[in-house]
Amino acid sequence: MTGGERVKGSAVRRARDWVDADLPARRRPVLSSALAAGLGSIGALHLAWGAGTTWPYDTEEEFARHLLGFGETAPPAWASLGVGAGLTAGAYLVLAAGGLVPRVGPKWAYRLGAVGLAGVLVGRGVLGPLTNSGSTPEYVRLDWRVYSPLCLVLGALALSLAAGLARPKSE
């Protein structure tokens, strides 16, 4: 190994050690806050839909065309309420994983929850556009431009949070 390779290897090793030891602990609250804000907002919207609103649309038919991709009526209340409750639980999970609210249970459960959340969100982001055959043009457009990219971003944040939880916190 030459002197230049040794210095380069040493710099790379120091950078990797810094990322492994310090960056996850510092970024965890930021990641948790951003992810919880996204999940909580989307969860609140689903809870509102479960309560009967069709916002941001005026009619159930418009709602179904843009947000479901089929049919002429909104989904049953229990479906929207279930999704809203799951997203709200996910927001709590990432806040607790980030140390921003008290945890109930072992740390591994939060890591596993973050990995599961990431899997669901990335899966929806990747598979969503692939399952659009027969959907309304309005839904397909929104899925490509909003729903799937948002799921991919939130999934990446959840995966990053889970990866940070796998490392010891530097204090």
Ramachandran class of 52: left when φ > 0, alpha when ψ lies in -120 to 50, beta otherwise: left
Distance CA 15, CA 20 (A): 9
For the chain, the domain total comes to 1
Whether residue 23 is predicted with pLDDT greater than 50 in this model: the reply is no
DSSP state letter for 136: -
Q: Which of 4-8, 11-15, 65-69 has the lowest mean pLDDT?
A: 4-8
pLDDT of amino acid 152: 97
**Segment 100-145, tens digit of pLDDT:** 999 999 988 998 999 999 999 999 999 999 998 889 999 999 999 9
In a domain, 171, yes or no: no
In a domain, 130, yes or no: yes
Distance CA 15, CA 48 (A): 46
In a domain, 29, yes or no: yes
Domain of 28 in residue numbering reads as 3-165
Q: Which of 171, 157, 29, 169 has its CA nearest to residue 96?
A: 29
The model's pTM:
0.81
